[in-house]
Amino acid sequence: MWDFILNPMVTLLIFLYQLFGNNVILSIVVLTVILRMLMYPILARQQEMAARQQEIQPKIKKLQEKYKDDKEKLAQAQMELMKEEGINPFGGCLPMLVQFPIFIALYSAINFAVASTPFQLVDLSDRLLIPGLDGLIPLNSVFLGMDLTARPQPPDNPMYALALPLLVMATTWLQFKMTTASRKKPEEEETKSSSKKDKDDDGGGQIDQAAAMQQSMGTVMPVMFGFISLSLSVGLAIYFLTSNVVGIIQYSPPGKKVLDRIFGGNKPAPEAKDEIVVESSKKSGKKSGAKGK
């Protein structure tokens, strides 16, 4: 079943290798960019659901204060609130479950493409779905004096290959900061406007705990991916680096604006709807005020 995703991915990578004149680095970069672009609508939906859940945090906090002694009623009230707001509580998880197998398949495809042992080369040939591509095996696995099948550290590779894990760490950190920046702003505003009493209650404690966990992830993730890049092949480190750079572009305001235009972003619609509701409520408020006078 896994081969159903993996074999087409390997075939596409080898086809790109042929298309770009036996340049395996360019093939990895282009394939990574293609998949990141195709997955953008799912990623955008995931970010949208996370942002909408953050927007209702003040309402959730009020429910936590109201039902602090009854967890069952609190859970029911939170589910009803999400239903009213049109938020799927699993909306942030489902897109991740969809994209995870695809990115793992891409990771595995690159691993197969830069195969170094005879067994891996035979396995790579058996996975190709287009006749004639097996004549390209073994691939040219040397780029700028670096062996793509080896780890980016001496004596397997030159000393300058160690720059790759460092770049992976830096771009992982930057991408994480960009993806969480929009969610941290509402939390910071809420924390500033909260009184000392609010900070000591259960809701404030949960917000502080979530912020601390988020900060820990921002530290652990870059180190983890840097260590993985140091331990595995140069080709996979280049994949991580490319994926991070594309993610940074996607989450930057100019990049997001362009991609939302291309893919038809869903975010403007709810905002326009909210503005209409606010305007109508203001008008109704003015009418009721006029009647009162």
pLDDT at 33 over 80: yes
pTM for the model: 0.70
Rg (CA), the chain: 25
pLDDT in tens, 196-246: 444 444 444 444 555 566 677 778 889 999 998 999 889 889 989 998 999
The pLDDT value given to residue 70:
79
Q: Is 209 exposed, middle or buried (0-12, 13-18, 19+ CB in 10 A)?
A: exposed
For residue range 133-152, list pLDDT tens digits in order: 888 888 888 888 998 888 99
CA distance linking residue 291 with residue 115, whole number of Å: 79
Both tokens of 124, joined, read 């790579």
Q: Buried b / exposed e across 230-254, counting CB within 10 Å, b at 16+?
A: bebbbbbbbbbbbbbbbbbbbbeee
